[in-house]
Structure 1
Amino acid sequence: MPHIQQLDSHVADLIAAGEVVERPASVVKELMENAIDAGADKLTVEIQHGGMALIRVTDNGCGIAPEEAATAFLRHATSKLRTEYDLEAIGTLGFRGEALAAISAVSRVELLTRTQAHELGCALSLEGGVVVSQEEAGCPLGTTMVVQDLFYNTPARLKFMKKDSAEGAACFAMVQRVALSHPEVGVKFLRDGKQELLTPGDGQLKSALYAVLGRDMALGFTPVKGSGEDMSVTGFVSLPTCCRGSRGYQHFFVNGRYVKSRTMMAALEEAYANQKMVGKFPGCVLHLTTRLNAVDVNVHPTKQEVKFGSDKKVFDAVYYAVKSTLEADRTRPSAVAESPAPRLIPKQAVDTVTPNQTTLPLRDTAATRTAAPYVPPAVSRPAARPAAVSVP
């Protein structure tokens, strides 16, 4: 029988990293959420080779104090929780203190950060979760996180990565979701030196929708606004005539967090019953706002699945908000029963022959061009009566 022993700390960190960091898109998600929690309103995300070679996230948030920079990369180190009671009402995107520790365990990380209270910032380098160097550095207010050579020390995970184009597309999709979840944050995305996304960050969801989905796609969406018991629903849904062939354009957010919710998806599609073509799915950008203690976000390592206190309340709130919007839409065609139109009596034919027209023109055909001209027959007249001859 094999003996039970405690795993080495490095192996334990690699296992924990596998739960949080699945691919480069996971790193982008965690770093962007940390930046938003830090109060940033400007975000720049840059990747190279699908994020496997380089991921750089720059923000203008509050930054990290120099004496706390190394502590931030320890497991379960966080500034967002203090007691067990804080778990009952989580209002931040990150809270467990595992993101930075998991990322640094499977990559080479460089941190450059400065707070408002310090004239000089801090430059920190880590490799495999171990601090290599830390020194003062001049830098702007905020934080820049550089992640290089992802999974360089975990070949078992590295061999399951897809092509750079596929991993880059996953990173781009993650950036789009974050941009839609927080329209008050201006987001810029660069892939291999080329800018692919820029949102204005004016706080208007419609502006973020135009930037992310494009003008042609956004014109097929209509605004939604509704409320239920202790919750509200806002956002945009596609018109029944603009539904797509997949659910790729369905985006659900709960208290500013992107989630995959079967309850919200079922409520959305139920509202479109008998209004869309078979095999088509509606698109949406729906924000559900509810009490913090009415939703549990600590049920999945990636925090993309949540548990509601009452699924029925969530279903009703989404269903009736979308349903009322579709019923109020006057642009879609509708079948209305009307009384039959009165029978029309045909008008009398009108003679179009003019007074000076005596014959109808013949069709210009080969037969008419070669035939002899028509000569009317001579009219027979009675012979003249002979003159009377007088007899002498």
Structure 2
Amino acid sequence: MNNHAPNIRPVIRQLDETTANRIAAGEVVERPASAVKELVENALDAGATRIDIAIEEGGKRLIRVSDDGCGMTADELPLALSRHATSKIDGDDLLAINSFGFRGEALPSLGAVGRLTITSRVDGGDGAEISVTAGRIASPRPAAGNRGTVVELRDLFFATPARLKFMRSERAETQAVAETVRRLAMAEPYTGFTLSADGKETFRADAEQGELFGALQARLARVMGRDFIDNAIPIDAERDGLTLTGFAALPTYSRGAAVAQHLYVNGRPVRDKLLTGALRAGYMDVLASGRHPAAVLYLTCDPQLVDVNVHPAKAEVRFRDPTAARGLVVSALRHGLANAGHRASSTVGDATLAAFQPEPAGLNAAPRRNYQMDYRPSGGAIRASLDLQAPTPTQETGFSEAPSARFEPAGDDTPTTAPLGAARAQIHENYIIAQSDDGLVIVDQHAAHERLVYERLKAQAEANGIASQALLIPEIVELPEADAARILSIADELAELGLVVEAFGGGAIAVREAPAMLAKLNAQALIRDILDDLSDQGASDRLRARIDAVLSSMACHGSVRSGRRMSAEEMNALLRDMERTPKSGQCNHGRPTWVKLRLADIERLFGRKE
């Protein structure tokens, strides 16, 4: 018995407009943040240069969005509340979309589940106001106001009280609204935004000036924080009609969750599995397990190359050539990280400095005094003084002094002007202490050398190819025909990595050769994992990751071990190699290889500078 079928034949009927709008609201407006997103996007499409958002009780009681855009006339207001009425497209080409909104569903959906009032005035015209309550539209009436539009939504979901049961706490809804506003603010640096919650301004981003890249940088510093920009690398790449710009943080500025990843397609904030997968792949061998990169990336292309009409919320997109989009993101990130060289995030040094705690002042301690002099002795005087005070190094102390006279820098650099300075000592047989012109550098010798060896091994593998080894008995993997076809479609790419597959009739494939460096390979499990990646992301780096893991292990065993004493020449050679090697700011496991303490901060620790 079918429990869904009634005993009598059901009758097909046309739903009334109010019910249809409430159903549409379930897709378009999931929570107050969704309503704010739709209203702010409408304001941006209207050409607003300033948008003010106010909410009360997390948006459940009130959402008000005011803008200085082009506005609407009294005749246009009733039409704006009709389903599928929009000024964004003419309906001829659903791929030629250059605006945030285009479906014409947001305003009627909001009016169907709440109390909605719109007040608007065009430049040089009279103001007008219209209200709609639970789908019932009143007639427009004259109203005062500046050019632009004010949309006020009260008592969200009062007409569908069952939806209120699924709302989260007031604080959670407020945070969701704030995150929505921040994401939109990062896409539009030339528009000013303010957000007030229960009468208190919680976010403000004034309109930026200047060229686009500089304006984006200033806006991201305001929204993401100065630390993000200080520890990020600029991304600017183009391929096959796609352009990628933005900022990606150094691997050592990673997060414990994917909360600092913001992706935009033609200015629209999106949550796209293809792009997030590409972002992970770009950082594949530079992040520790459980860490997530921070990045703000803007992908722009001809609207014909991407379909944004996938879901009413417009948060998902579909590319005409997903391989090109993914490839651009991965290659641009890897190239940018490689060009960052030996850089490590400044927050590593800040955290190290914070770990140092000066001796607390006791009851009998002398008053703190500032020993900063009005002048600073010359470098020669400081070295002469230190030479007189330095202890005589012995084999038992575990302290290896490296006089600067023994250091021969590359090029025209003097010892301390090199980026990582000149090696002065090795402590605990693992940490190199180097002096730079403006501070102190501490290097983990094993972690640093491990990255250097790893990068050399990868370069050799790329230059000479991944050696493969024929299997004595080919491994046959039975698959559905569609899955077998997907694997065979990337057979050439797999062969470059040493995995040779062939069709074996029906849905079966034969694995005839495997990468020689992978001693034990479960070919069936690997093939199925690759298929999962292809289904989820449209591409797979699974085999590449396994090969890199082997190279990383080889690098670990072939690098300078902790506990080994190094001469001054060896330490300085390691520092110079780090400066020349891409990604040497972090080891193969994503941990920092060096930390810098600024001299001014060290002096502040000892009370020499206020």
TM-score, length basis structure 1? 0.83
Aligned equivalent of 1:267: 278
State yes or no: 1:6 paired with 2:14. yes
The DSSP-based 3-state class of the residue aligned with 1:288 is strand
| Separation of aligned partners in 2, 1:22 and 1:83 | 26
Q: Which stretch shifts more, 199-208 or 71-80? A: 199-208
| Separation of aligned partners in 2, 1:224 and 1:244 | 19
Task: Say whether the 8 Å CA contact 1:50–1:165 is kept in structure 2.
Answer: yes
| Separation of aligned partners in 1, 2:323 and 2:53 | 38
Given candidates 246, 257, 262, the residue that maps to 2:268 is 257
The DSSP-based 3-state class of the residue aligned with 2:70 is coil
| Separation of aligned partners in 2, 1:114 and 1:80 | 19
Aligned equivalent of 1:73: 81
Given candidates 328, 331, 335, the residue that maps to 1:320 is 331
* Letter in structure 2 aligned against 1:57: V
Task: Say whether the 8 Å CA contact 2:194–2:201 is kept in structure 1.
Answer: yes
Aligned equivalent of 2:111: 104
Task: Say whether the 8 Å CA contact 1:126–1:133 is kept in structure 2.
Answer: no
| Separation of aligned partners in 2, 1:177 and 1:343 | 50
1:3 Cα deviation from its structure 2 partner: 2.3
Aligned equivalent of 1:307: 318
Aligned equivalent of 1:18: 26
State yes or no: 1:33 paired with 2:38. no
TM-score, length basis structure 2? 0.54
State yes or no: 1:279 paired with 2:290. yes
| Separation of aligned partners in 1, 2:162 and 2:17 | 18
* Letter in structure 1 aligned against 2:140: Q
Task: Say whether the 8 Å CA contact 1:197–1:211 is kept in structure 2.
Answer: no
1:192 Cα deviation from its structure 2 partner: 1.1
Aligned equivalent of 1:60: 68
Task: Say whether the 8 Å CA contact 2:62–2:154 is kept in structure 1.
Answer: yes
Given candidates 41, 55, 58, the residue that maps to 1:50 is 58
Aligned equivalent of 1:145: 151
| Separation of aligned partners in 1, 2:318 and 2:567 | 57
- 1:76-134: CA deviation from partner (whole Å, max 9, x where unpaired): 1111121332x12111110011111101111101111100131x211212211222342
1:306 Cα deviation from its structure 2 partner: 0.5
Task: Say whether the 8 Å CA contact 2:74–2:140 is kept in structure 1.
Answer: no
Q: How many residues align?
A: 342
1:249 Cα deviation from its structure 2 partner: 0.8
* Letter in structure 2 aligned against 1:270: A
1:341 Cα deviation from its structure 2 partner: 4.3
The DSSP-based 3-state class of the residue aligned with 1:223 is strand
Q: Which stretch shifts more, 213-222 or 281-290? A: 213-222
Aligned equivalent of 2:253: 242
Gaps of 5+ in 2: 1-7, 345-447, 454-558, 561-565, 571-610
1:277 Cα deviation from its structure 2 partner: 1.4
State yes or no: 1:126 paired with 2:127. no
| Aligned positions of 1:196-207 closer than 5 A | 196-202=202-208, 204-207=215-218
| Separation of aligned partners in 1, 2:234 and 2:246 | 6
| Separation of aligned partners in 2, 1:6 and 1:291 | 39
| Aligned positions of 1:366-381 closer than 5 A | none
The DSSP-based 3-state class of the residue aligned with 2:252 is helix
Given candidates 144, 151, 165, the residue that maps to 2:171 is 165
Given candidates 94, 103, 125, the residue that maps to 2:101 is 94
| Separation of aligned partners in 2, 1:267 and 1:83 | 33
Given candidates 153, 164, 181, the residue that maps to 1:175 is 181
Task: Say whether the 8 Å CA contact 1:73–1:129 is kept in structure 2.
Answer: no
Larger relative contact order, structure 1 or 2 (CA cutoff 8 Å, min sep 6): 1
Aligned equivalent of 2:554: none
| Separation of aligned partners in 1, 2:82 and 2:197 | 30
| Separation of aligned partners in 1, 2:199 and 2:91 | 43
Structure ID, larger Rg: 1
1:219 Cα deviation from its structure 2 partner: 2.5
| Separation of aligned partners in 2, 1:324 and 1:89 | 32
| Separation of aligned partners in 2, 1:342 and 1:239 | 29
- 1:261-295: CA deviation from partner (whole Å, max 9, x where unpaired): 11111221112122121110101100000111000
1:183 Cα deviation from its structure 2 partner: 1.4
Given candidates 229, 238, 242, the residue that maps to 1:227 is 238
The DSSP-based 3-state class of the residue aligned with 2:75 is helix
* Letter in structure 1 aligned against 2:107: L
| Separation of aligned partners in 2, 1:133 and 1:3 | 35
Q: Using a 3 Å threshold, how does the CA distance of structure 1 residues 324 and 114 change in structure 2: closer, same or farther? A: same
Q: Using a 3 Å threshold, how does the CA distance of structure 1 residues 221 and 135 change in structure 2: closer, same or farther? A: same
Q: Which stretch shifts more, 325-334 or 67-76? A: 325-334
User: How large is the RMSD of aligned CA atoms in angstroms?
Assistant: 1.9
| Aligned positions of 1:376-387 closer than 5 A | none
State yes or no: 1:210 paired with 2:221. yes
1:247 Cα deviation from its structure 2 partner: 0.7
The DSSP-based 3-state class of the residue aligned with 1:150 is coil
Aligned equivalent of 1:366: none
* Letter in structure 2 aligned against 1:210: A
> Which of the two has greater helix per residue?
2
| Separation of aligned partners in 2, 1:8 and 1:63 | 30
Gaps of 5+ in 1: 345-392
- 1:182-213: CA deviation from partner (whole Å, max 9, x where unpaired): 11211111111111211122151112112212
| Separation of aligned partners in 2, 1:314 and 1:249 | 21
| Separation of aligned partners in 1, 2:163 and 2:251 | 42
- 1:317-352: CA deviation from partner (whole Å, max 9, x where unpaired): 1111111110111343653469974899xxxxxxxx
1:177 Cα deviation from its structure 2 partner: 0.7
Q: Which stretch shifts more, 125-134 or 49-58? A: 125-134
| Separation of aligned partners in 1, 2:243 and 2:340 | 20
Task: Say whether the 8 Å CA contact 1:260–1:304 is kept in structure 2.
Answer: yes
